[in-house]
Chains A and B, each alone.
Chain A
Amino acid sequence: DAMVIQNPRYQVTQFGKPVTLSCSQTLNHNVMYWYQQKSSQAPKLLFHYYDKDFNNEADTPDNFQSRRPNTSFCFLDIRSPGLGDAAMYLCATSRALAGTETDTQYFGPGTRLTVL
């Protein structure tokens, strides 16, 4: 089945220790997104790629970086995690940014990040 996969599902890191979260997709979608979701809050967009074009949200901290080496994979790097970065990190994909029925976003299962 075509899907969005995230690894690991749970990640524990120490304060300040870099961590990388990965996302892969078999949907062959052009757009990949990273969201941060904290308890009882809506997902918050960090950045997205349209193909290789990177778009960073204005309020995304510099501590967060992303890489998309190919269509299928996208990585979220947190250079120096703080306690406030503990959250669920969600990867999503869509065929296009907008347009009739091509902008539907499909989410992966998420990675729960704990910062000690």
Chain B
Amino acid sequence: QKEVEQNSGPLSVPEGAIASLNCTYSDRGSQSFFWYRQYSGKSPELIMSIYSNGDKEDGRFTAQLNKASQYVSLLIRDSQPSDSATYLCAAPRSNDYKLSFGAGTTVTVRA
């Protein structure tokens, strides 16, 4: 079982719609969770971090964490063509604190 798994995508949404990205993790000891956005040929850029159960909102982005279900999600509201990218979910392993990354979900926002 992979430590961090993401819905494989690719995900295509129309401009203005909500894009929903899902991530599950296997290490119950993980305490922090991150969403990175990566444009093609560029490096990962942190867009959200979440540490507590519930929702965390930042502009058009909302991260949701459910530790009981070992589930993290990212919602992108009012999707824009500039949101087209690969989104990486990541969580540190509890035994050595190194980041485990999901395989990424590629999002395309159609104009």
Contacts and interface: CB of A to CB of B under 8 A. Distances in A.
B33 to A, nearest CB: 11
A12 to B, nearest CB: 16
A2 interface: no
A42 B88 contact: yes
B102 A103 contact: no
A104 B99 CA distance: 10
Contacts of A70: none
Interface residues of B, number: 21
B42 A110 contact: yes
Majority secondary structure, A binding face: loop
A36 B99 CA distance: 13
A107 B97 contact: no
A103 B42 contact: no
A88 interface: yes
A107 B92 CA distance: 15
Given A42-B88, A104-B34, A98 B43 contact: no
24 contacts: A40-B104, A42-B88, A42-B102, A43-B44, A43-B88, A45-B98, A88-B41, A88-B43, A90-B43, A98-B31, A100-B31, A101-B32, A101-B49, A101-B51, A103-B32, A103-B92, A104-B46, A105-B34, A105-B46, A106-B46, A107-B36, A107-B43, A108-B43, A109-B43
Given A42-B102, A90-B43, A104-B49, 17 more contacts: A42-B103, A42-B104, A43-B44, A43-B101, A45-B99, A90-B44, A98-B32, A98-B97, A101-B32, A101-B51, A104-B32, A105-B46, A107-B43, A108-B43, A110-B42, A110-B43, A112-B41
Interface of B: 31-32, 34, 36, 41-46, 49, 51, 88, 92, 97-99, 101-104
User: Which 9 A-B residue pairings sit nearest by Cβ, starting from the closest?
Assistant: A42-B101, A98-B97, A110-B43, A97-B97, A107-B43, A107-B44, A109-B43, A90-B43, A104-B49
